Amino acid sequence: MSLFEKERSDYGFGKLDREDLLEDPFEQFKFWLQAAVEHEVPEPAGMCLSTCIDNRPSSRMVLLRGIDHGFLFYTNYLSRKGQEIENNPFGCLNFWWPTLERQIRIEGTIEKVSPEQSDEYFLSRPLESQIASAASPQSQIITSRDELEQAVNTLRESGITHRPDHWGGYRLLPTYFEFWQGRSARLHDRFAYNRDLREWQISRMAP
Ligand SMILES: Cc1cc2nc3c(=O)[nH]c(=O)nc-3n(C[C@H](O)[C@H](O)[C@H](O)COP(=O)(O)O)c2cc1C
């Protein structure tokens, strides 16, 4: 049997109707995230972040680290994603929570969080994570793992007192949300929230 011929999964966990949705998509997101945590979805804060430069998209997983008026994540500003965001602030997040058969898409523009907010988050991280993010020239070619480990050891010895300038937070400011609930026979439920001036307009979408 080929890898792709295994039995197709049919989704039956739940359904999504217009009356189930909260009017504020941030609240709807938090409601679903809470359910994902309660159902022990592995890595519920893991989200696929897509950025795009010269019409060429790229995606990678990052961790959602907070929600205010946007969705917060932390990374290396000089990384590939950082450079792409610098050149084109439009980005897209995607969450897939298989246990609940739910997908959420969030589109918007990305900005840096304030240096103070990045400092606060950086210093709240375990020391080893602080050292790793300061030592790793994320997305650059390195000659060996030794090179990386040596950079870590050097920083461990010298100590780390503050957040490096090249590392910090981003905030994706949503203009579009989409909540997807798997249903039987591929007739899934999908609802989009589009921001029209200050109001969110909710529409059912064909699966
Ligand atoms: C589940 C998961 C969570 C991750 N979280 C982060 C994160 O929060 N920040 C980060 O910089 N990289 C994170 N990574 C690593 C990224 O996927 C990626 O390899 C790295 O950021 C470099 O991406 P880039 O070269 O496209 O900039 C995570 C990877 C996985 C699999």
Ligand 1 pocket check for 62: Cβ under 6 Å: yes
Mutation probe of ligand 1 site: the residue of 50, 58, 63 with most atoms within 8 A of C-beta: 63
Long-range contacts of 122-131 (CB under 8 A, 24+ apart): 122/74, 122/162, 122/163, 122/167, 122/168, 123/163, 127/160, 130/160, 130/163, 131/155, 131/156, 131/160
Residue 18 CA to ligand 1 centre (angstroms): 34
Tokens of residue 185, six digits: 């026979």
Residue 6, burial from CB neighbour count under 10 angstroms (0-12, 13-18, 19+)? exposed
Ligand 1 pocket check for 81: Cβ under 6 Å: yes
**pTM of structure:** 0.96
The secondary structure of residue 25, as a DSSP letter, is H
Ligand 1 pocket check for 63: Cβ under 6 Å: yes
- Tens of pLDDT along the chain (207 residues) come to 677 877 778 899 999 999 999 999 999 999 999 999 999 999 999 999 999 999 999 999 999 999 999 999 999 999 999 999 999 999 999 999 999 999 999 999 999 999 999 999 999 999 999 999 999 999 999 999 999 999 999 999 998 989 999 999 999 999 999 999 999 999 999 999 999 878 999 999 999
- Interatomic CA distance for residues 47 and 114, integer angstroms: 22
Contact indicator for 53, 84 with CB cutoff of 8 Å: yes
Residue 132 CA to ligand 1 centre (angstroms): 13
User: In sequence order, what are the residues at sequence separation of 6 or more whose Cβ sits closer than 8 angstroms to the Cβ of residue 18?
Assistant: 191, 202, 204
